[in-house]
Structure 1
Amino acid sequence: MKLMIKHGSAKYVIFVLIGLVVASIEGFLLPQTIRLVIGGLENGSKQELAFGVGFGIVGFLVLGLGGYFYQYSIAKLMKNFNVSVKSTVYEHHVHKHQKGSDARSSDVLSFLQNDVKLLENNYIMAWITAVQTIVLVTVASGYILSINLKLGFIFIVFALVTMIFPKLNQKKIENSAKDWSKANEDYTNELIEDIKGVETIIGYQREQTFFERLKVSIANAEDKNVKMTLAQVVASLTAYVASHILSLIPVFIGGIFVFNGLLEVDALVAVFIASDRIANPLSVAAANINKLSTTSGIHKKLSIIEEENNAFKQTDNHSFESILPLEIRNGTVQFENNLVLDSFDLVINAGEKLLLLGESGSGKTTILNLIQQHIPLPDGQITYGDKSEQSTRAINRNISYIRQTPMIFDDTLEFNLTLGEDFEPGELDQAIKAAGLSSVVKERGLDFVVGENGQNLSGGQNQRVEIARAILRERELLIADEVTAALDKETAEGIHDTLFSLPQAIIEVSHHVKEDDFADYDRVYQIENRKLKSTTYK
């Protein structure tokens, strides 16, 4: 219940509880209505008959209105819960990236698509249904006891016996739920890989292999789902059958009461009808209590996510501190005893334009990851400004990473520039002009929708959007990673000129630049044979 209150709002949890209490009048409404009607017929009283019918009409109207309020409250609770949990999980994914931790998007998708849905059905709805049926049983039990204490006690005892059966299968259900969650996660990971790699699959004509491979993962996930479902069904059916068999014994005893003149027929009928509000709901409650156990693993996952989110917020430093000059001294990097970079130095001063050259796999990405603290420096020293270390958040506030393929959202041009952050119109205009986007804005406007992955803009224009983002936020250092590799010569030169016109420090990463252009840079760093060489051409 704590999880529901935390993510779903205490107000709607209270509303749900009020709603289910109103709905619990079903525990005596029909039995009492039938009892009044039969009593009126036995006594030959039209007035009693009319009262019984009127009682039922009013009661069912109240039940209907209460039911609407109950379902409305559940819907609002579910909405709040989903918004809060899904936001928390995505926030955690972002924080892991900010800390440089391994954060797989497939894990997030699996949690949001599978685990959250399981929380909806097997936690929220199971908890509400279990409580609702228990309240219903309580009301029905009180009603039966008010008619005949001894017979009511017998009915309740036999009904409670049915609660034993679901416990016999609880461990099996928990294990099957864990197996299903793991299989579903594996399937989601494989599906994402196959979608990303569709061009490679087609290029090597391996469609059938991957079809069959994915079918195995789907079948495995579905098999685990079948096992989990069957485990729940066995537990539910056991409780259901047992409850009905055991309910017949109190009915027989009630008949003896009637024969001995201890109970009226209308009272026996009422008790018999009300007894269905004890045995059956208890089996439903037991089944839903079993469902709760299937979410225990997800509760633990979510708890860890919340703890890590809170820890990140507590350590996050929101103050602005310069990271330049950035220096790496005597840096050596090796992975699993494989030397990548040997005893290198790197200096980035404010406003400098630097070039980092190297073949694919030479260590360029490693240097960029070191600068952004995505990986630690095993040997050597790295300083940011006058500090030997900075929080990853502070580094992110000072560095903009311009990729070969920028992330462009399917939204307006303005949103892609601001990313939802508030800026003064003058600041936005200045960034647009500096990034060379004035003609695009003049022609299409800031409310122009750029399309998925910026498909309504050219490659060069998408690069300029990324550059404008950095200018808007006055980042000290811009990392331009192969930004002109996929552009035509004219566009590439335009992007290059734009970058060099900015006051920020620039470190351009490339695997090939003509030597004639080296003089444009303050320093050129080249990686050869695991060594980083620095040359000045100006």
Structure 2
Amino acid sequence: MKQNISRYDIWKRGTMANLSLRFTSKGKMILYFLLSIVYAFGNVVIAYITKIMLNMAQYRQGSVKQLITVAASGALAIILIMFFNFAYRYLKFDIVKDINVHLKAKTMAYLIEQQDDSQKDGLSLMTNDVKQIETLKILNELTIITEFMSFVVSVTVGLLNSWILTLLFIVTTVIPGFVQKFFTKKIQSKSEAWEKANASYTQNVSDGLNGAATADLYDVQIPIVGRVVDGAKRMENALKSLNYTQAVAGEIIMAVAEIFSFIIPFLVGAILMFQGHIGAGTLVMIVQLSNDFVNPVINIFQQINSIQSTKPMWDKVEKALKFDEAKPVSVNNTKFTGLDVDNLTYKLKDKTLFSDLGLSVHPNEKVLLMAPSGWGKTTLLRLILGKLKPNDGKIYIDKMDVTGDWQKAHDSFSYVNQKPFIFDDTLKFNISLGRKVTDSEMEEVVEKSGLFSLVGEKGWDYQVGENGANLSGGQIQRIEIARALLSKRPILLADEATSALDPELSLAIHNTILKNPQIAVIEVAHKISEQEKSMFDRIIQFE
């Protein structure tokens, strides 16, 4: 059956898709709507109490005691609303927290999964961009709801008291909306320029901090700092231009609103009062309520402008929100029967790194692949892992074709890098990487990887420092081996794993990984001792 979709449906879906508020619970949003209505009654109570007291005074109705009673009732109502507003404020920031956590979790998962974004873009997205989305989009979307409720409540009360003046105020509040449209594209353009300048500045700061030792060595602190300052100037100039454009738009909208939405309606009200159609209390009440006719509309237009300024940043976050995270692949419990590389050819641009390459690795076999520097050893490992796709040839694991398929291939491999990445966290986290493992499993891999004495001396909660600053090179390499052993994958790939270590430590590391009877090892290296070579079952020399 053909489904008819109206323009309204398309608009509604598009609008909802762009709202950040969809990432909090419906229950919280319903409660926020209700508390926004209570919040809107704050100004209405003051206006209504003012009307009653002025009319009582103008027409000499009641007594002074009754006037005091009316004022006291108004004060109690305001205090009651104040307590509701405590809940309103708390809920507002709780919703912001929920959305922020969701956006950061999805964005970080996207960046880790893709591994394509530069550090500059990733850092800027996770810090500056997400913060701008919080202050200029999430908070403004929530505030628009409150402003709209203030407008609806005030208009309802106004219509009940003087429909002529209220309708006049409502009609004139539309005019600022036409002014706002002229600034939308310009604000978006300024925002894009600021976002680019901000990303560049973030990278300059990162480079400056990471390159501090190099700057100190060559006495180039001044130009390095100058590079950061230049980036800061470009970023601040772009931000100044964006803020000024938004401010100018706000001033023009405010001036138009004050003329058409206040002065003219107030003139009509004064004429009606002069002719005896309304009392002073009603006029003052409508004028006071007009702040909630005019200001919410002005604020909503300004908030829309602010939300529009986040479009370049939100577009990047939406990539992460639409991205399907790779589901964790369960460990293949099928017994490993072998790896086969069949007639593999790989070209990098116009250069053929290798062609018709064949390789077979049996369970628990230890294979050393030797080749000169620049041959493409790391590229071969990336092909085996499924990170790259060959120009020709196939790769099989357990006779299953996994050529160029990371999701299928990588679950069979652990990997030992020449320079392992160490998290600025505890020793336990760096080994387990946050996975849930038993104490006995941790103790087993610690013993097999040669970390038993370190754990015994420092403890599991020992902070290893940024980039493993509190560890030796050998300890860092053993942490990488412990990670590999903990994964219980049948093949360990070692990429120049010990080339940066001294001969004695290199031999100790090889003793650890090559004498483990439960894993196959494929190591690539261009330099290794004869004693270490003797530990391998096969050595393949590539020219």
TM-score norm. by structure 1 comes to 0.90
Assess if the C-alpha contact under 8 Å between 2:331 and 2:411 holds in 1. no
CA distance 1:209–1:455, change in 2 (3 Å): closer
Is residue 2:456 matched to residue 1:456? no
Is residue 2:271 matched to residue 1:259? no
CA shift, 1:194, in A, is 4.1
Question: Which residue of 1 is the match for residue 42 of structure 2?
Answer: 26
Is residue 2:391 matched to residue 1:381? no
Instruction: Name the aligned partner's letter for residue 497 of structure 2.
Output: V
Give, in whole Å, the separation in 1 of the partners of 2:238 and 2:458: 52
Give, in whole Å, the separation in 1 of the partners of 2:465 and 2:223: 34
498-507 or 45-54, larger mean C-alpha shift: 45-54
CA distance 1:455–1:500, change in 2 (3 Å): same
CA distance 1:128–1:52, change in 2 (3 Å): same
Question: Which residue of 1 is the match for residue 140 of structure 2?
Answer: 126
Question: Which residue of 2 is the match for residue 400 of structure 1?
Answer: 414
Assess if the C-alpha contact under 8 Å between 1:22 and 1:66 holds in 2. yes
Question: Which residue of 1 is the match for residue 238 of structure 2?
Answer: 224
Instruction: Name the aligned partner's letter for residue 332 of structure 1.
Output: T
Assess if the C-alpha contact under 8 Å between 2:21 and 2:138 holds in 1. no
Give, in whole Å, the separation in 2 of the partners of 1:442 and 1:206: 43
Assess if the C-alpha contact under 8 Å between 1:8 and 1:80 holds in 2. yes
Q: Which one of 37, 56, 61 corresponds to residue 40 of structure 1?
A: 56
Is residue 2:537 matched to residue 1:525? no
Question: Which residue of 1 is the match for residue 324 of structure 2?
Answer: 309
Assess if the C-alpha contact under 8 Å between 2:120 and 2:200 holds in 1. no
Q: Which runs of 5+ in 2 are unaligned?
A: 1-15
29-38 or 418-427, larger mean C-alpha shift: 418-427
CA shift, 1:319, in A, is 5.7
503-512 or 164-173, larger mean C-alpha shift: 503-512
Question: Which residue of 1 is the match for residue 438 of structure 2?
Answer: 424
Q: Which one of 302, 324, 330 corresponds to residue 318 of structure 1?
A: 330
SS at match of 1:24: helix
Question: Which residue of 2 is the match for residue 532 of structure 1?
Answer: none
CA shift, 1:394, in A, is 4.0
Q: Which one of 83, 103, 107 corresponds to residue 85 of structure 1?
A: 103
Give, in whole Å, the separation in 1 of the partners of 2:197 and 2:362: 50
Instruction: Name the aligned partner's letter for residue 540 of structure 2.
Output: Y
CA shift, 1:151, in A, is 1.7
CA shift, 1:474, in A, is 1.0
- Superimposed CA distance per residue, residues 396-418 of structure 1 (whole angstroms, 9 cap, x where no aligned partner): 33212112232233333222222
Instruction: Name the aligned partner's letter for residue 15 of structure 1.
Output: L
Q: Which one of 309, 323, 328 corresponds to residue 294 of structure 1?
A: 309
Q: Which one of 158, 170, 181 corresponds to residue 144 of structure 1?
A: 158
Counting matched residue pairs gives 521
CA shift, 1:217, in A, is 2.7
475-484 or 498-507, larger mean C-alpha shift: 475-484
CA distance 1:445–1:199, change in 2 (3 Å): closer
Give, in whole Å, the separation in 1 of the partners of 2:382 and 2:44: 68
SS at match of 2:359: strand
- Superimposed CA distance per residue, residues 413-465 of structure 1 (whole angstroms, 9 cap, x where no aligned partner): 22222222222333222222211222223333333333333333322122222
Give, in whole Å, the separation in 2 of the partners of 1:62 and 1:237: 35
SS at match of 2:400: coil
Assess if the C-alpha contact under 8 Å between 2:422 and 2:467 holds in 1. yes
Assess if the C-alpha contact under 8 Å between 2:416 and 2:481 holds in 1. yes
CA shift, 1:229, in A, is 1.5
Instruction: Name the aligned partner's letter for residue 377 of structure 2.
Output: K
- Superimposed CA distance per residue, residues 169-208 of structure 1 (whole angstroms, 9 cap, x where no aligned partner): 1111122222222222233334334443444444454444
CA distance 1:127–1:474, change in 2 (3 Å): same
Instruction: Name the aligned partner's letter for residue 521 of structure 1.
Output: F
Give, in whole Å, the separation in 2 of the partners of 1:128 and 1:442: 52
Give, in whole Å, the separation in 2 of the partners of 1:322 and 1:187: 51
- Superimposed CA distance per residue, residues 7-47 of structure 1 (whole angstroms, 9 cap, x where no aligned partner): 22223222222221111003412111222222333316223
Question: Which residue of 1 is the match for residue 11 of structure 2?
Answer: none
Q: Which one of 162, 166, 184 corresponds to residue 176 of structure 2?
A: 162
CA distance 1:286–1:404, change in 2 (3 Å): same
SS at match of 2:499: coil
TM-score norm. by structure 2 comes to 0.89
CA shift, 1:497, in A, is 0.9
SS at match of 2:356: strand
SS at match of 2:347: strand
How is 1:171-250 mapped onto 2 (pairs within 5 angstroms)?
A: 171-246=185-260, 247-250=262-265
Assess if the C-alpha contact under 8 Å between 1:91 and 1:309 holds in 2. no
SS at match of 1:309: coil
- Superimposed CA distance per residue, residues 356-375 of structure 1 (whole angstroms, 9 cap, x where no aligned partner): 32333221111121111221
Instruction: Name the aligned partner's letter for residue 67 of structure 1.
Output: N
Assess if the C-alpha contact under 8 Å between 2:424 and 2:465 holds in 1. yes
Instruction: Name the aligned partner's letter for residue 60 of structure 1.
Output: I
SS at match of 1:502: coil
Q: Which runs of 5+ in 1 are unaligned?
A: 529-538
CA distance 1:304–1:200, change in 2 (3 Å): same
Assess if the C-alpha contact under 8 Å between 1:399 and 1:476 holds in 2. yes
Question: Which residue of 1 is the match for residue 344 of structure 2?
Answer: 331
CA RMSD of aligned residues (A): 2.3
Q: Which one of 378, 384, 400 corresponds to residue 365 of structure 1?
A: 378
Give, in whole Å, the separation in 2 of the partners of 1:475 and 1:498: 16
SS at match of 2:534: helix
SS at match of 2:437: coil
SS at match of 2:542: strand
Assess if the C-alpha contact under 8 Å between 1:34 and 1:52 holds in 2. no
Instruction: Name the aligned partner's letter for residue 445 of structure 1.
Output: G
